[in-house]
Chains A and B, each alone.
Chain A
Amino acid sequence: MRPATPLLVLTIGQGLAGGIIVCLAALMWMGRLTGPEAIVPVLAALGTAAVGGMGSFFHMHNLKAARYVMRRLKTSWLSREALTTAIFGAFLAVLTVWTLFDGAGVSSVGYQTLLVVTAATGVLAMWVTAMLYATIPAVLSWHTPLTVLNLMLVGITSGVAVTAGWVSAVPSLWIGFAILLALTAAVKLLHWTHFLRAHGQIRAETGTGLPFSPYRLQDTGTTKPPYRTQTQVWPLLQPALLRTVKLWTVGWLFVIPLAAVVVWQTGAWGGARWVLPVGAMLGVIAERWLFFADATHSSRVFFVDEPRRAPQVPMTGARKSM
């Protein structure tokens, strides 16, 4: 699938925001959250959620029709996503205001309730978004419960890592953090295995009615890239690129944060703490890019899989209607 920037921004942003709030709620529950410490993470959550929201907004290409977007709550996960994301955003906004203007209120029942409810809406929003992806049979790579686990866990992990930059309790709970990382990593690896299987799952014989292999799609015409109007097709990644991005993901999202926590714990380098948010961001971008770029759509069987190439000529210029 072609990785669309708005969707990267949306899913990363939403996951991060949700993750941060979930993390804060957990800390609160453990009694390890202080008011002033919460300010930056809450702001960050609001920021990323807002950016994510903007992303989703700009993924709509016909804004005139935006008002219809919740018309199909009954069937469409996207309608539901619009709703749950909005609800989460609203709670997050109130939470932010409360956190900013009533710094000491962390211990108040009202604040605590709000935090828990916001975290719950965040989780709900993440779940709905994940379900949107997981329920499309045509995208074979995503059509698995692993997608839900993956998106939610990566969201939470990234949120926790970002929170760690400001809330010192997080690194000190490093065992918990390590367990979370391991869990997420395990899901991610499983998901990747599923992706690999998905590649092999498109069946030319059922896609074309030809009874015997090997198959070859021979067209050099409108079934070859650049597919500017076919956003669901995106040529197979070159193996070297795939390997590199996977390594990058594993490194920044799992290995380096873990190492950073350990280093920080040993007190060898205080700055290690800041590696967490930065690393998580780099890792999650790579992870999410792969989530799209490496995903297999069933229609790939109908398109010539040539390596991508940039258009050879400028795409700007006049527009002509006749």
Chain B
Amino acid sequence: MTLAEKILALHSNRDSVKPGDMIMAKLDMILGTDVTVALSVEVFRNMGAEKVFDPDKIALVNDHFVPAKDVKAATLSKIMREFAHEQNIPNYFEVGRSGICHSLLPDKGLVKPGDLVVGADSHTCTYGALGAFSTGIGSTDMACSWALGELWFRVPETTKVVIEGEFQPYVGPKDLIMYIINKLGVEGARYQAIEFTGGTIERMSIDGRITVCNMAIEAGAKTGLIAPDDTTRAFMKKFPDIEGVYLKSDPDAVYSQVLNVDVSGIEPLVAEPYLPSNTRSINELTGVKVNQVVIGSCTNGRLEDFRATAEIMGDNEVHPDVRLIIIPATPGIIREMLAEGLVDKFIKAGAILSPPTCGPCIGGHMGILAKDEVGLFTTNRNFRGRNGHPESKVYLAGPQVAAATALTGRITDPREVV
């Protein structure tokens, strides 16, 4: 069996499963956010449910429209807050202690290797970075999951991506996953699990693995996952009471397709509007004028991303025609940045720091684009209208390209500014 199949078998009390099997599986964690919870609460009540199956296995996170951007957003959070209190859900995260869900949950020890996690957010596939099977669902699925603690799944085929080689300077996990999505296409792994393997992945940090698994859905995948290893064990040491199940694919596991990637040939990459799979080598887009750069999101809002940003920026200032918005994914990451002097450095350079939020990634607040404006974001989607006016445009890239672009006001190869 593959890693994905093993986790699903484990949670459905079966010795084995195979792609295409429909199973009811027990859930370890159910994630909801301010955008999706209120509808689930309504569905939950309408189905006559009174109590959630297990308050400890539910996380409710304020991230998308917080601090509340308007009255309607405030109302969504209020419904979630009241539900959390009513159901005694300990892992309710209030503004100030909250952050972008997919960064917050791993840092709070709420997901562990071998878990089966669902979340009413499409990027729930991120926790594959810790060797969990995690996938996005809608609000009705979430309400049903709260009630029963289980949910139906079709066991997916697994696409295996074998990644070898050393990155060139200023090329990293974001470039890698954009390269893979371009190779697979926006639905190249639809309904499938993507397992990322190989020497490059084995050497990659948890922050990097989070970036890679986060964007599996952009190839249509149900989940992206990486076999947990010593790097995972080291990360989980912060939570001594939590024991994960460390599984890996069998040598004779069956894959629907195998993609081999040699990262040593990958240049800094940029995805053109309006699809994350529109990946281009940086030299095809160098010089495109940019009004706003956003570095953050569940894809690239972690400490390593801001270290990479700082390395490219050096002591230079942000270009006068550019708004550089830095969004640390969690309060913990802000503290780490403060400790390393990164916040001071960014502010001095003319950037602004936003509180942890999805904000501009979803066109909510904290940096919406006007008609004809161009953004370069480290987020994961550049669909039409997602980040502001339908005639604005967003290019996607990693933090190095974003930092270089913020300095020059034009899409810039980081190798040109360091």
Does chain A bind chain B?
no
